[in-house]
A and B are shown apart, each in its own frame.
Chain A
Amino acid sequence: MSPTDFYHTHPITDGEILTHSVTLDVTKCKGCTTCLKRCPTEAIRVRDGHAVIENARCIDCGECIRVCQHKAKKAIFDKLEDFADYKYKIALPAPALYGQFEGATDLDLVLSALVDCGFDDVFEVSRAAEIVSEYTRKFLERNETLPHPIISSACPVIVRLISVRYPLLVENVLPVMPPIEIAARIARKEALKKHPELTDGDVAVIFISPCPAKVSYAKNPIGIETSAVSGVLSIGEFYFKMLSAMKKITEPTVTAQSGIIGISWAGAGGEASALFNEKYLAADGIDNVIKVLDEIDNGNIRNLDFVELNACSGGCVGGVLNIENPYIAKARLQTMRRYLPVSLNRVGDCRLDNYEWEHDLEANNVSTLDGDRHEAMRKMREIVALTESFPGIDCGSCGAPTCRALAEDVVRGKANPDDCIFLMRDKLRMMVDKGEINCKNCPKNKANPS
């Protein structure tokens, strides 16, 4: 195995610390340009025939996993076995999990299956979602002077996208912890109260996730120093274990404590509709989200109080780690929530010290060319000139998603203009014309054998 092979079997990031979940199977990656073109933050390059992700730009949306035809992109997540040493393990099921099982019309059945799969207890994230809904309603009333519209912070991909691409909008993001975090904190608190013999280090709080972004969130949370989530399992991987456990259940042992509002967070529009305020917008799918953010950034969306954005089409049921088709899962959830109360969880019931972020969201200036304005302007002139010199067909053969992106890479010292196969071809022709290189098979030499 050569050193290059070794490098590429590791997570395909070029930064020092691994905080992202997406990895590459080097044996499967063909170095095609599919993921390159699809990445919303232009974080992927093809180098040495394989995809490489720039850590600072990746927002964990999972689009590259979704589009890879060679199944070379994967998300890494934890395994339940990794937590064998913990005395007390609590499962945090995402609301999307309930919609994955055909024939399961009862939340209790899904929750009981989790316990049978090796957890000591279950805490529904949909419960925390109801608390966030109530908290957000109050927050909107209290903070009428904040920049509007307020943008939901529940989807970590959206929050990272805003910090990378929309520095003007960081102040619009709702500075409240997402349901996963509040669920983890309450679950820990309750477990320690119920079992005084346990210490905080004995308790593992494990999220069952529909998306890779939550893996990254647990390692590198937004707005707070450390997350109370100990690990993240994939719905897709845990599905079969749960399915066989579910078949053995005759009488559920766990009673669900979520209402319609909490369950509805699984799909796009669920969070926004729970605010009981018609001045909202809900968009889903990364391309649609970017269009909406561009409009907000341009100041064209007025008279709205709240904007709910989901990176995945359909919302969390569209997460790339799910098993079931998102629309079928959503339809199933409509049946499951039918006879549930509107909401079962209130802020006052499980009083945490804090529901809001510990620090402000900062704009990530990864796109800035140089800290010095004059130097940045010089680089921009070079980028404009280089982009002009490229063919402008955005073929991706150089390993960058667009001709403009290649120009930026060149100016940042990460690529060479000759990486453009069209410039290279012209250069070779010129060298042959000048006789600097001799090519026996060159059509010109064939025509004039002398």
Chain B
Amino acid sequence: MADSVRLEYMIDGDNFTSAGEASVMVKKSLRQMGFDPETIRKVSVAMYEGEINMVIHAQGGKATVDVYDDKIVIVLADRGPGIPDIELAMQAGYSTAPDNIRSLGFGAGMGLPNMKKYTDEMTIESEVGVGTTITMVVNV
């Protein structure tokens, strides 16, 4: 436990143009620690999708990445509206993104499915009106 590296990022919900920056910083740090390209790709895609979701739906939040030598744990926590039906939200193509976001190519309903696809474990804890915490694990 003591040997892990904790990387923390505040995701700015007011600034859509900076969405995805934490993912780039995580990628740089993982590369400096010598992780293999495939692991880095998985973490950065999952992280990127989660970051975009937090900005679109939850006015931002906090990302905590704990790096162990055999796994990487990503925790994305927000105080947004919460997800009423997690099963529905997990369906490919289902999206509640507003139209102005869709015009940029987002909101295809692939965020959560991609996060699941690129990680080895994913749990969603969500309460309507309180917020959402997503924990993802990528095994090295």
Contacts and interface: CB of A to CB of B under 8 A. Distances in A.
B45 A380 contact: no
A168 to B, nearest CB: 5
Interface in B2-44: 3-7, 20, 23-24, 27-29, 31-35, 37, 40-41, 44
A87 to B, nearest CB: 49
Interface stretch (A122-130, A237-245, A257-265, A291-299): A291-299
Interface string A373-409: 1101110110010000000000000000000000010
Interface string A355-385: 0000000000101111101101110110010
A381 B32 contact: no
Given A294-B24, A298-B20, A298-B44, A368 B3 contact: no
Contacts of B31: 167, 367-368
A384 B34 contact: no
B7 A370 contact: no
A377 B33 contact: yes
B17 to A, nearest CB: 11
Contacts of A168: 37, 40-41
Given A368-B34, A384-B5, A374 B69 contact: yes
Given A367-B32, A369-B33, A377-B33, A384 B67 contact: no
Interface in A49-93: none
Contacts of A370: 34
Contacts of B23: 298
B37 A380 contact: no
A229 to B, nearest CB: 32
A370 B28 CA distance: 14
A368 B32 contact: yes
Interface in B43-60: 44-45, 48
Interface string B103-124: 0000000000000000000000
Given A168-B40, A298-B48, A381-B5, A369 B27 contact: no
Contacts of A376: 32-34
A373 B32 contact: no
A367 B30 CA distance: 10
Contact of A297 (B27, B32, B69): B27
A349 B48 CA distance: 48
Given A297-B27, A298-B23, A384 B33 contact: no
A370 B35 CA distance: 11
A374 B3 contact: yes
A367 B28 contact: yes
Given A380-B29, A381-B5, A299 B45 contact: yes
B45 A298 contact: yes
Contact of B32 (A294, A299, A369, A378): A369
27 contacts: A167-B31, A167-B37, A294-B24, A297-B44, A298-B23, A298-B48, A299-B41, A367-B32, A368-B31, A368-B33, A368-B34, A369-B32, A370-B34, A373-B33, A374-B3, A376-B33, A377-B3, A377-B4, A377-B5, A377-B33, A377-B67, A378-B3, A380-B5, A380-B29, A381-B5, A384-B5, A384-B6
Interface of B: 3-7, 20, 23-24, 27-29, 31-35, 37, 40-41, 44-45, 48, 67, 69
Given A365-B34, A374-B3, 15 more contacts: A167-B31, A167-B37, A168-B37, A294-B24, A368-B31, A370-B34, A373-B34, A373-B69, A376-B32, A376-B33, A376-B34, A377-B3, A377-B5, A380-B5, A408-B32
